[in-house]
Chains A and B, each alone.
Chain A
Amino acid sequence: DQQVKQNSPSLSVQEGRISILNCDYTNSMFDYFLWYKKYPAEGPTFLISISSIKDKNEDGRFTVFLNKSAKHLSLHIVPSQPGDSAVYFCAASADTDKLIFGTGTRLQVFP
């Protein structure tokens, strides 16, 4: 049972435009959500997180939106840059010290 789902395996966006990566979850007990960025042959890098008591968190070009009623979160990257090309994982936690990861979305930003 995949509790965290990233239904788009890949996304292609032009440089300067907005990238929107989506993530859906099924467990209503999740109360903390994160996004990680991963380059090939490297460990994931933490990008941004959001607690379930908020619906938006912003850090520079990155904004995470949480819609609890829809059990959906998204990561917006504005403006997209070629260096943003990577695999993005969303993850969720239910206060158990464990994260449940999605399967990832490969973002490609082209000139």
Chain B
Amino acid sequence: SQTIHQWPATLVQPVGSPLSLECTVEGTSNPNLYWYRQAAGRGLQLLFYSVGIGQISSEVPQNLSASRPQDRQFILSSKKLLLSDSGFYLCAWSVLGGTDTQYFGPGTRLTVL
């Protein structure tokens, strides 16, 4: 069966510090991968998605970037965090060419102080 991992689970970082969140998927090959953010009191905002290694599409211009160095690894980064980057970050995967159903990881709670 497929599983998706995210780490860390929680993170407290000062403003201006760098960020690296990692997501890995097991049990499937060539998945579509996604990064979402859920800010307090808001829905799920798609940040990035990837249909293959090195292929990243950005949905919202912001202080973040994403990379996919391996087929089942998706990384969310920032060089300098802003207060507004605080939120709950979720990684998700779906089957390439499938029904578009996405399966989410456990999430990372990021607090920028």
Contact = CB atoms under 8 A, between A and B. Distances in A.
Chains A and B come from one and the same complex: yes
Interface of A: 32, 34, 36, 41-46, 49, 89, 93, 95, 97-104
24 contacts: A32-B99, A32-B100, A34-B101, A41-B88, A41-B107, A41-B109, A42-B106, A43-B6, A43-B92, A43-B104, A43-B105, A43-B106, A44-B90, A46-B101, A46-B102, A49-B101, A97-B49, A97-B51, A97-B100, A98-B46, A99-B100, A101-B46, A102-B43, A104-B43
Interface residues of B, number: 24
A13 B8 CA distance: 35
Q: Please classify the interface of chain B as helix (H, G, I), strand (E, B), loop, or mixed, using the class held by over half of its residues.
A: strand
Given A98-B46, A101-B43, A45 B104 contact: yes
Contacts of A101: 43-44, 46
A95 B100 contact: yes
Contacts, number: 51
Nearest to B90: A43
A58 to B, nearest CB: 17
Contacts of B106: 42-43
Nearest to B49: A98
A98 B48 CA distance: 10
